[in-house]
A and B are shown apart, each in its own frame.
Chain A
Amino acid sequence: MSPALRRYIVVRILLTIPMILILVSIVFVVLRVLPGDPALAILREGASEEQLASFRAAMGLDKPMIEQYWDFISGVVQFDFGVSMTRSRSVVDEIKTFFPATIELAIGGMLVTTIVGVFSGAFAAQHRKTAADYTIRVASVILYSIPIFWLGIMFQMLFGAKLGWLPVSGRLDPGMTPDSIITGLYTVDAILTQDWALLKDALRHLVLPSMTLGLVLAGIFTRLTRANMLDVLEQDFITAGRARGLKERILVYRHGLRNAFIPIVTLLGLQFSLLLAGAILTETTFSWPGLGRLVVDRIFDRDFTTVQGSILFFAVLVAGGSLIVDILYGFLDPRIRY
């Protein structure tokens, strides 16, 4: 590792910390100025003054704002996000319960995005300036303009309500419960415990949400792939390959795509926050018990601690994701100098 790269990595990590801190502070302030008293919202009308006061004291809501902020930040440093205001569980436990569902959905969505996006993008680049190219380009704009929740509902209507092929909500059928939770990803757990009925059920529930999330993001991915493929296809080694009589299909999909892949993956890392935003709406549409649902539900419940904890978690995810992508890029492409 060159000293320049090492220095870059250190600076990059140091820059990530204030970024997260800024976001967390914004969220903290935003939530504290929220109209509505959380104590009253949680204990309901009719709670006595003593009950309210003791709840506020237990949650630290009676302390001055600065002190609450300090408590929160010092807790975060120790990976302690506090206790949920509406459930008697720690926020870290809540996140642990809901996060695997989001990962499972995100992986499923990425799979669809990659398959659809890479192939349509490469195809469009190969047939540049033809009807196929223009069709794919316009289709990718339209795909990205579809409200993700609406696409999900249309799928539910078609494949769920009308054709009855696939379940429209949740992660498992009501009767199904995993015997033991190892990773929290039901598909992986099912394989580990060799519970094939569970695997089939989990996969069936995963299909529609993944398609929804994946297809909408595929619009962006198609364009990225197309642009990168156009660059690669103009390079000398492609011309050389063509001169040697290689088949066009092999040139494009083997030699071309492989070289276009690194920038595509990098750019995809930058779309990470789009994936999470899409996941929130997808989870709401499909009653998918993930992090996005957790945040939205608890906003309505006025569960401050859980909301700020999960938003902080989102911020760390996004910042960490882009950090890793940036560093990886430095390793993968030695031409980049810092």
Chain B
Amino acid sequence: MTEQTTNTNVIDALNDQKIGLLSRIWQGRKWYGAEWYITGFGGLILFVILILAAFAPQISPYDPNGFVGAPFTPPGQGTQTLLTRSGENLAVDPEDLEWVELNIGVQRNKNGKKVADANEAASTRFMTEDEMLEGLETGAVDYIFVDDNMVSEILAAYPGFEIVATGLGTSFPLGTDNLGRDYVSRIIWGARTIMSVALASALLSSVTGITLGLIAGFVSGALDRILSLVMDSIYSFPGLLLAIAMVAMLGPGLVNVAVAVSVVYIPTFFRVVRGQVLSVKEELYVEAARSLGASAFSILTQYIFPNVIPSIVVVFSLNVADAILTEAGLSFIGLGLPPDIPDWGYDVSKGHSFLVAGHWWMITFPGIMITLVATGFSLLGEGLSEILNPRLVKN
């Protein structure tokens, strides 16, 4: 009783002060304790990732698919050296490299510019490091940019080369992959990919699952039994295997993967909603509405559905967390998105094939990101379930 009074007082005080929404949320920690911090922490992680996803074109330093640096550049390195054939008087002033890049094999990495877009031809002329070195030796190009760290090795192998200038361009904070693509950009664009796939599939499964659950719970009878049986069969089956079979059928692609993943999570929504409907529809106020002549549709939407919302929010959040892992798993197996869409799961699997070479950054960073996003949604769902269902909280 006393606690009730204090809470009312605090709320009144808050209303009197007319404080903003943010400080109000901040004050919430007083009532919810640890759950508030858990939810807040999860929300904070997701907020940052959502910003990355939303403003990917603005934040990302390079095109995620552009070959902007030397392959396998370790994190924090990647400044480059301009090489040419010696003895042909090809020296150039490093201050003015604009014209050099027009007849060059590999672009110097440039902050803030998407070189692959502007110079499609130049950036795709050589697919590998060896091809590029050969290109300079045979005279296909007059200059190449190579990683600073590799210069001594290259000069030992090709005595005919000489250094024009060194320490050019910028470094790559998270390194580059086997094609010289910048990992910072891939991480940022990957956030957009994973968020859209996971949210789209969760939306799809929630709409389907909720509708079916409402109908099954409300109608009961044979329809309910059949739906429940089908849903239980899908639910009991390993979700990843189901998604694998679905993607194999639908083929790769953003929409197809989202659809395949969504099938896995329809039963969770169905079960929760159906259970809630079964318990809610016996309540007195539903009976009252029915006796007053309310139609079945309005009972469902106005009396039953609002009671289901809190559980849906929780299930949604936890399912997105799981959907992220399923999507990443599909990409890892090789049944995910087409390779031109930046995708963390794909990056991990690519890194896996260079495991023995010790290129740790190719695996570590995308994996951390997947974990982070999944953790964010899990924590959010975890905290919300305690906050939204206060009856479950034990003393």
Contacts and interface: CB of A to CB of B under 8 A. Distances in A.
B337 to A, nearest CB: 15
Interface in B323-345: 325, 328-329, 332-335, 345
Interface string A55-79: 0000000000000000000000000
B321 to A, nearest CB: 6
Interface residues of A, number: 50
Interface in B234-270: 234, 236-241, 244-246, 248-249, 251
Contact of B355 (A148, A157, A296): A157
Interface residues of B, number: 46
A319 B236 contact: yes
Given A19-B229, A154-B364, A141 B333 contact: no
B292 interface: no
A277 B246 contact: no
A144 B378 CA distance: 9
Contacts of B38: 138
B329 A276 contact: no
Interface in A2-56: 15, 18-20, 22-23, 26-27, 30-31, 33-35
Contacts of B245: 26-27, 30-31, 299, 307, 311
B233 interface: yes
Interface in B343-395: 345, 348-349, 351-352, 355-356, 358, 360, 363-364, 367, 370-371, 374-375, 378-379, 382
B174 to A, nearest CB: 16
A26 B264 CA distance: 13
B250 to A, nearest CB: 9
Contact of A296 (B239, B333, B371, B375): B333
B228 to A, nearest CB: 10
A162 B359 CA distance: 11
B322 to A, nearest CB: 9
A276 B241 contact: yes
A19 B232 contact: yes
Interface of A: 15, 18-20, 22-23, 26-27, 30-31, 33-35, 134, 138, 141-142, 144-150, 153-154, 156-157, 161-162, 168, 273-274, 276-277, 280-281, 284-285, 295-296, 299-300, 307, 311, 314-315, 318-319, 322
Interface of B: 34, 38, 229-230, 232-234, 236-241, 244-246, 248-249, 251, 321, 325, 328-329, 332-335, 345, 348-349, 351-352, 355-356, 358, 360, 363-364, 367, 370-371, 374-375, 378-379, 382
12 contacts: A19-B236, A23-B233, A30-B246, A31-B248, A141-B379, A149-B352, A162-B358, A280-B244, A281-B333, A295-B241, A311-B241, A319-B236
